[in-house]
């Protein structure tokens, strides 16, 4: 299955909303190492730091900024998340702008994003990793939820 990644430039970037995003990428990274893919990793916070130390022999790109979402003390309220939506939209725009610069420099063949909605580029094969059967897309992409 991973043979199509052989000798290809692959960028992997997990979101930093817990270690699940980083640990979900570990078997992918290990499989890509076996097929001799040229692996580039970026991230932020604890998850990015963890991958940087676990795979210190791979190429790491500049850390991306976090979405900096805060949660209420009791549960997650819809209104709390909606109030933070502009902050998320800005982060998505910034990470897409960052990726455009990186793509010019590295020319990735594949881009694997674990829940980072701004990590995609038209000149690469883009893969969005999600732990939901029906991921809820950001506001600007909400019309695509039916897909």
Q: In the predicted model, is pLDDT for residue 58 greater than 90?
A: yes
Residue 26 belongs to what domain range?
2-146
Query: What's the CA gap between 141 and 120, in Å, rounded?
Result: 13
pLDDT confidence bin for 7, thresholds 50/70/90: very high
Cβ contact 112:13 at 8 Å = yes
Q: Sheet containing 38-41: which strands, arranged edge to edge? A: 59-60, 38-41, 9-14, 110-114, 125-129
**Among 38, 61, 43, which Cα is nearest to 124's?**
38
**Among 121, 125, 128, which Cα is nearest to 104's?**
121
pLDDT confidence bin for 29, thresholds 50/70/90: very high
Number of domains in the chain: 1
**Length of the chain in residues, anyone?**
147
Residue 138: which CATH number? 3.40.50.2000
Pairing relationship of beta strands 110-114 and 38-41 according to DSSP bridges: unpaired
Give the global pTM: 0.83
Res 53: pLDDT: 92
């Amino acid at each position: 299955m991973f043979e199509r990644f052989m000798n290809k430039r692959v960028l992997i970037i997990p979101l930093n909303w817990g270690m699940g995003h980083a640990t979900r990428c570990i078997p992918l990274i290990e499989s890509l190492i076996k097929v001799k893919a040229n692996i580039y990793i970026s991230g932020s916070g604890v998850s990015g730091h963890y991958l940087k130390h676990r795979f210190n022999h791979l190429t790491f790109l500049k850390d991306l900024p976090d979405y900096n979402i805060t949660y209420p003390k009791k549960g997650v309220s819809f209104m709390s998340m909606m109030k933070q939506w502009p902050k998320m939209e800005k982060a998505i725009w910034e990470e897409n702008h960052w990726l455009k610069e990186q793509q010019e420099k590295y020319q990735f063949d594949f881009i694997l994003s674990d829940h980072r909605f701004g990590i995609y580029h038209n000149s690469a094969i883009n893969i969005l990793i999600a732990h939901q059967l029906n991921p809820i897309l950001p506001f600007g992409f909400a019309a695509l939820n039916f897909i």
